Structure 1
Amino acid sequence: MHSSAVFLIEFGAVILGLGLLGRLAGRFQFSPIPLYLLAGLAFGEGGLLPLGASEEFVAIGAEIGVILLLLMLGLEYTASDLVSNLKTQYPAGLVDAALNALPGAVMALLLGWGPVAAVVLAGVTWISSSGVIAKVLGDLGRLGNRETPVILSILVLEDLAMAVYLPIITALLAGVSLAAGSITLAIALGVAGLVLFLAVRYGRLISRFVSSDDPEKLLLVVLGLTLLVAGIAQQLQVSAAVGAFLVGIALSGEVAEGAHNLLSPLRDLFAAVFFVFFGLHTDPASIPPVLLPALALATVTACTKVATGYWAAKRAGISVKGRWRAGGTLVARGEFSIVIAGLAVTAGIEPELGPLATAYVLILVILGPITARYTQPLAMRLTGRRKPAEPPARTETAETVEAAETVEATEEPREAVDQHGGH
């Protein structure tokens, strides 16, 4: 009875604290993720108030948080959207992977962590935060801008790459043989391909089976199906998160919209618990020694993300201002980086990897909204100083008119996008 009371007090205090931190972040209009990570550091070993009785429950909640994050991400896209993005935007995805995964791998090798840690850190620096970026786009009123589809296409390609990447690092962290790892990857690719095929061909039937006018029944069926598929995927040595992502892709139409609205509060709750859980496993005293490498890595990969967005937007025929906006928006890292690092921390491959990832995400999740807002005006000012005579007044006027027409033409689409969860 006493331990039960302690559990309720501890867990209640954690949830209440997260709610207050979320309100604080909302008041200052920035992502609450860094505050959640700091809360985890405070409640973990070496922190101000270590948890005891509720730590095991927090671990389960964190796993559910990862599953819901990936499910909600899958609900944002239809299978046909994914296939279309693969066909038209795959060069941008390849440039994104090359520019942003390579610095992480090089840093791990320079620190002497070995090839497995290099693969893990490459993923940490590669994947942008879809959640933070979607919120930033909404806050800045850019959901209807011409460069936004380019940004979303890169995020979709990264999400698809996760379906291949997560099984690979799961096998590497487990220390399985090359043959066993190849089998795991083949299973993951086969399952992903099968789900995409079924979603394209029979998506309406699947959605009709899940659909219900009763919100309670819809919530239970979608959540139960997601946890079931995630568990089966994990049993097959495929990531549970990938299973949840594929379930989200298979659902479409009104079912996806209804499930999105019902699951959003649950996603936010358990995602917050997940970030706290990651912080729990990071000793605050271990962060200062890796702060300089994390800062260097954040600086380099912020620049490479800006270059990625600029190149992809230029390839899509976007104006110069839109190219800089696209690049600055992609800088934020968050939930995926922590998910990847969390797998490595659980496997215990490198003690300093968790602290480095925590410091890295803290830096970029704070820097990301700033670069999204100020990269374009700063770039225009610097470009104008270098070449004062080059842009004539006529060109400037044309760009201004184009920007005004873009805003006016996209007011209605922006409202429509907001109703569908931000994408």
Structure 2
Amino acid sequence: MFQDGGVHALRLVAAGPEGTGVILVELGIVLLVLAFLGRVAAKLGVPSIPLYLAAGLLMGEGGFIPVDAGEDFLAVGAQIGVVLLLLLLGLEYSPQDLQHGLRTTWQAGIVDGLANGAPGFLLGIMMGWTVTASLLLAGVTYISSSGIIARLLDDFDRYANRETPVILSILVMEDIVMAVFLPIMAVLLVGASLVQGAVAAGIAIAIVAAAFFISLKFSAHVSKVVHSHSRELLLLSVLGLAFLVAGLAEAAQVSAAVGAFLLGLTLSGQVADDVRTLMPPLRDVFGGIFFVFFGLTIDPRDLWPVLLPALLLAVVTAITKIGTGMWAARRVGIGPKGQWRTGISLIPRGEFSIVIAGLGITAGIQPQLGPLAAAYVLILAIGGSLLMRFAAHIGGPAQWREELASRR
């Protein structure tokens, strides 16, 4: 997702014995830091993700504890983390659940795109950016972080909540939109025509539709082939399939996250139950590496000049995400508390926003895009995580109105 995995592997091989020793020492330090911060988060009763992100900032370029030799390995680990997060998220629901959710929330998906993409686009235009750069910023502000939200839903034991299918439906719609948006933007950035962009988008849509059809019609057959009474063979089969599908999806300009999620939907029955039991520790380790690596990609010194516009954009789009989520939940009959949790849960931004900004950075289209996106994502990744943790204590509009009425 961040860079080519094959290049990272070659660099690790070329490092030699001494280089390998340095890499292992740095990785050991990173994992021990994660263990310490996880304990701190558990003691304080707060999500571990903001602490992992802060650790990445401190260990990245411009930080206090630079991690150079092990960065390539962490990049691959981060990709694995996103795949495992979305694989296990897909295992929680059947294709029928998702189909029903998409049918009932497609209007919310349109509102979500307009309400959360428009602020980014307008800010880019106001700052004098080109239309293409402004469209990239619109993508950054539109897409919520499936990786962070999936991890938090599990941390807070909210998969069984009534509003969770609404959240997942909106996230999947966003991922599908990205399957169209990313190839179009990639084509436009190299100066190609809209026709070429439309062809790329059509291929991406066809791949997603085919994968969803397979998960809907042949779930039992795939699960039967994968199933094994041996935990070793089951894990090898599922992990092999997950990485294969995610890699093919990425190569086809459909995100690896979408591929992993659709594979999770396809697995059912005893296979899904066994994988949900075996996989979480592995997911948590690599998920932690993902959040650290995300912090490593940000140079803290680049954040200050764009901090104010990023903060303004974060506040506006946090409000629009909350409004979108509450509206979507209300349409399917969820109560005020569930509506509030739905809106709050959509706030975090993360991996996709960085990928979108990376397209502009690679093309050299707008030098401020990278730092602005990084500051924006960091604010909402940390702020959104904390808001999800304390959503019940904050209350919500319905509770605020009741308290105001009682004071009169």
- Please, what TM-score do these two structures have when normalized by structure 2? 0.83
Instruction: Work out whether 1:279 is the aligned partner of 2:295.
Output: yes
Are residues 1:106 and 2:122 paired? yes
Equivalent in 141, 146, 160 of residue 125 of structure 1: 141
1:114-263 correspondence to structure 2 within 5 Å: 114-130=130-146, 132-133=148-149, 146-172=162-188, 176-263=192-279
Counterpart Cα distance in 1 of 2:22 and 2:146: 36
Q: Which runs of 5+ in 2 are unaligned?
A: 1-16
Q: Distance in 1 between matches of 2:358 and 2:61?
A: 16
TM-superposed deviation, 1:9: 1.0
Q: Is the 8 A contact 1:31 1:365 kept in 2?
A: no
Query: 1:76 maps to which residue?
Result: 92
Cα pair distance change 1:239/1:180, threshold 3 Å: farther
Q: Percent identity?
A: 52
Report the CA distance between 1:296 and its aligned residue: 0.5
- How far off is 1:130 after superposition? 4.3
CA shift, 1:166, in A, is 4.0
For residues 200 and 71 of structure 1, do their structure 2 counterparts lie closer, same or farther at Cα, with a shift above 3 Å needed? same
Partner Cα distance (1:16, 1:173) in 2: 41
Superposed displacement of residue 335, structure 1: 4.2
Give 1:204's aligned amino acid. A
Cα distance in 2 for partners of 1:331, 1:375 equals: 17
Q: Is the 8 A contact 2:86 2:146 kept in 1?
A: no
Show the counterpart of 1:379: 397
In the TM superposition, what is the alpha-carbon distance from 1:214 to its structure 2 partner? 1.0
1:30 is paired with a residue of what secondary structure? coil
* 2:64 counterpart SS class: coil
Corresponding position of 1:309: 325
Report if aligned partners of 1:207, 1:251 keep a CA contact under 8 Å in 2.
yes
Q: How far did residue 209 of structure 1 move?
A: 0.9
Q: How far does residue 249 in structure 1 lie from its aligned partner after superposition?
A: 2.6
**Could you say what the CA RMSD is over the residues aligned between the two structures, in angstroms?**
3.0
In the aligned structure 2, how far is the partner of 1:241 from the partner of 1:226? 10
**Aligned counterparts, 1:327-342, within 5 A:** 327-342=343-358
Preserved CA contact (<8 Å) 2:176 2:208:
no
Cα pair 1:31 1:366 within 8 Å, conserved: no
Please identify, of 84-93 and 336-345, the stretch whose mean Cα deviation from structure 2 is larger.
Answer: 336-345
Q: Is the 8 A contact 1:103 1:122 kept in 2?
A: yes
Corresponding residue for residue 306 of structure 2: 290
Partner of 1:4 in structure 2? Answer: 20
Cα 1:176–1:275 change in 2 (3 A) is farther
Separation (CA, whole Å) in 2 of partners of 1:90 and 1:103: 21
Question: In structure 1, what is the Cα distance between the partners aligned to 2:365 and 2:113?
Answer: 23
Query: What's the CA shift string for 1:262-301, capped at 9, x where partnerless?
Result: 3322322223223332322321111111111111111111
Equivalent residue for 1:57, pick from 61, 73, 79: 73
Per-residue displacement from partner, 1:286-320 (whole Å, max 9, x unpaired)? Answer: 11111111111111111112211222232223344
Identify if the C-alpha distance between structure 1 residues 113 and 247 changes in structure 2 by more than 3 Å, giving closer, same or farther: farther
Using the TM superposition, name which of 131-140 and 259-268 deviates more.
131-140
Q: Quote how far apart the aligned CAs of 1:45 are.
A: 1.9
CA deviation vs aligned residue, 1:355-400 (integer Å, no higher than 9, x gap): 323322332233335544258635345424765699xxxxxxxxxx
Distance in structure 1 (CA, Å) of the matches to 2:34 and 2:220: 38
1:237 is displaced (CA, Å) by 3.9
Deviation of residue 73 (structure 1)?
3.0
Distance verdict in 2 for CA 1:89–1:183, change over 3 Å: same
SS at match of 2:229: coil
Aligned 8 A contact 1:295 1:363 in 2: yes
Q: Would you say how many aligned residue pairs link Structure 1 and Structure 2?
A: 390
* Distance of 1:348 and 1:76 partners within structure 2: 40
Change (3 A) 1:265 1:355: farther
1:34 aligns with 2:43: no
Scaled by the length of structure 1, what TM-score is found?
A: 0.81
Tell me, in whole angstroms, the C-alpha distance in 2 between the residues paired with 1:301 and 1:40.
25
- Alpha carbons 1:66, 1:339 under 8 Å: kept: no
Aligned: 1:18 with 2:30: no
Distance 2:381 2:336 in 1: 25
Range moving further from structure 2, 85-94 or 283-292: 85-94
Give 1:410's aligned residue.
Answer: none
Q: Structure 2: which amino acid aligns with 1:253?
A: G
* Residue in structure 2 matched with residue 405 of structure 1 by the alignment: none
**Structure 1 unaligned spans of 5+:** 391-423
1:81 maps to a residue whose letter is D
